[in-house]
């Protein structure tokens, strides 16, 4: 099944504008953004504001897979035998016979067969009718709100992953990693986070002198000073050397897609022993499907296959480290229940979340299912009955080793539901 290339998708102008705003806010051009600055850029060397202390160790590495663009949860995981869904989606709804059965009530799209394998192995749980507590159907507004995660305390500083690092003492360079070309809002204000998607472009470059001499000169320049910026300089040098020591060799075949390459890089960093506590990966697919979304084949099935195959390769690459890794998907909103006249899906609200890892109490679906009849919808959308912060809270407290007190700082004024995602 071919993957659609940029330019072939059918996303709306507002999504493109949201991506431009995101890029202007946090674009790093494929080099290493570290501690709010740039380690290497066209102008030379800048320094990190993180330290090299160990901090308080967390549990699992928590990976936030951002399905940016608005992922349709009803094509991914559909209720079986639902006449309302088939009436609303005469072109896009799959027959039950085409779906992969899950729990007798829901079925999974066949292009997600790699994730069905995780479900059967009890390494994947699904949370349906999940999402943000407030839905505006605006890509930019909902993406920003999703990543800041401060709906109940709008004056809260930084993004939720930055608050995770700050409230757990994870102060090392590489405690937080974003694999992509932008520093996400979830890492806003994090001084111990990095963002890049090409290992070879974050290494200290020679400046017409021997590399060893260059490093010696930089260390000598900052060796005796007790100033913060000098300590940060030494951390930046050490960070570059840490990345240089990470091997790019892998026996695992990843999809030749942006997402596949991003998961491959993250696996390399984890296996290389970098002290990653939380990571953010942007899907970078074509989820904003206002026309020709596809049902059994097409744009969305290609998206699903890309996601499933990339995660399966990531799991295989990690080997035993998979048991210390939890991957959670989020999206700013789902799609409307009814397809439009172009066999596409406009902006909606509720969607489905995937929680995956070697320690997930999987093989089940958590859903306060509202139904899909017109009187059960929210202005034509699947309502959100589970706040995505409840999912993240359970992941971080049970597997991430984060205390309840710290969670009150990460998601201020929020009372989470208990979902039973882990044994």
Task: Encode 254-290: b = buried (16+ Cβ within 10 Å), e = exposed.
Answer: bbebbbbbbbbbbbbbbebebbbbbbbbbbbbbbbbb
Strand partners, 365: 126
pLDDT at 296: 98
CA–CA separation, 70 and 12 (whole Å): 11
Both structure tokens of 184: 């996400």
pLDDT at 250: 86
* Residue percentage of the chain with pLDDT more than 70: 77
Closest to 268 (Cα-Cα) out of 288, 250, 242: 250
pLDDT at 83: 98
pLDDT at 198: 77
The answer to whether residues 363 and 124 touch, using CB atoms and an 8 Å cutoff, is: yes
DSSP 314-382: HHHHHGGGGGGEEEEEE-S--B-SS--TTS---B-S-EEEEEEETT---SEEE------SGGGSBTTBP
Structural domain boundaries of the chain?
Answer: 13-410
Q: Which residues in the chain land under pLDDT 50?
A: 1-9, 24-57, 203-207, 228-229
pLDDT in tens, 197-242: 877 665 444 445 555 665 566 566 556 655 544 555 555 666 666 7
**Range 407-412, long-range pairs (CB < 8 A, 24+ positions):** 409/163, 409/166, 409/167, 410/149, 410/160, 410/163, 410/164, 410/167, 411/149, 411/150, 411/160, 412/150, 412/152, 412/153, 412/156
pLDDT at 175: 87
Is the domain spanning 13-410 CATH 3.40.720? The answer is yes
Residues in the chain, how many?
A: 423
pLDDT at 33: 43
pLDDT at 409: 95
Phi, psi of 396 (to 5 degrees): -75, -30
pLDDT at 325: 96
pLDDT in tens, 370-416: 999 999 999 999 999 999 999 999 999 999 999 999 999 999 999 99
């Amino acid at each position: 099944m071919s993957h659609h290339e940029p330019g072939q998708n059918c996303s709306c102008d507002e999504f493109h504008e949201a991506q431009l705003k995101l890029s202007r806010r946090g674009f790093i051009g494929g080099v290493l953004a570290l501690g709010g600055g740039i380690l290497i850029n066209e102008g030379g060397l800048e320094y990190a504001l993180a330290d090299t202390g160990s901090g308080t160790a967390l549990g699992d590495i928590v990976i936030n897979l951002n399905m940016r663009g608005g992922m349709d949860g009803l094509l991914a995981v559909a209720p079986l035998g639902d006449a309302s869904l088939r009436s609303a989606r005469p072109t896009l709804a799959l027959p039950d016979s085409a779906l992969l059965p899950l729990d007798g009530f829901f079925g999974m799209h066949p292009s997600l067969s790699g994730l069905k394998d995780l479900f059967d192995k009890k390494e994947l749980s699904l949370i349906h009718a999940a999402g943000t507590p407030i839905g505006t159907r605006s890509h930019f507004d909902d993406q920003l709100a999703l990543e800041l995660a401060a709906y109940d305390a709008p004056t809260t500083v930084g993004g939720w992953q930055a608050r995770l690092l700050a409230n757990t003492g994870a102060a090392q360079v590489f405690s937080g990693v974003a694999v992509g070309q932008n520093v996400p809002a979830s890492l806003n204000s994090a001084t111990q986070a990095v963002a890049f998607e090409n290992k070879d472009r974050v290494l200290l470059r020679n400046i017409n002198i021997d590399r060893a001499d260059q490093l010696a000169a930089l260390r000598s320049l900052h060796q005796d000073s007790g100033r913060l910026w000098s300590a940060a300089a030494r951390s930046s040098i050490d960070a570059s050397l840490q990345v240089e020591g990470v091997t790019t060799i892998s026996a695992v075949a990843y999809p030749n897609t942006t997402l596949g390459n991003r998961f491959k890089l993250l696996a390399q960093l984890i296996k290389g022993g970098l002290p990653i506590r939380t990571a953010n990966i942007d899907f970078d697919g074509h989820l904003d499907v206002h026309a020709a979304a596809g049902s059994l084949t097409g744009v969305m099935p290609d998206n699903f296959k890309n996601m499933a195959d990339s995660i399966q390769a990531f799991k295989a690459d990690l080997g035993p480290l998979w048991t210390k890794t939890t991957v959670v998907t989020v999206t700013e909103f789902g799609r409307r229940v009814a397809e439009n006249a172009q066999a596409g899906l406009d902006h909606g609200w509720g969607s489905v979340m995937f929680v995956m890892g070697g320690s997930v109490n999987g093989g089940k679906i958590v859903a306060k299912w509202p139904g899909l009849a017109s009187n059960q919808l929210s202005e034509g959308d699947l309502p959100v009955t589970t706040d995505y912060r409840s999912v993240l809270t359970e992941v971080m407290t049970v597997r991430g080793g984060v205390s309840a007190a710290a969670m009150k700082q990460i998601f201020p004024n929020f009372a989470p539901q208990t979902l039973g995602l882990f044994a």
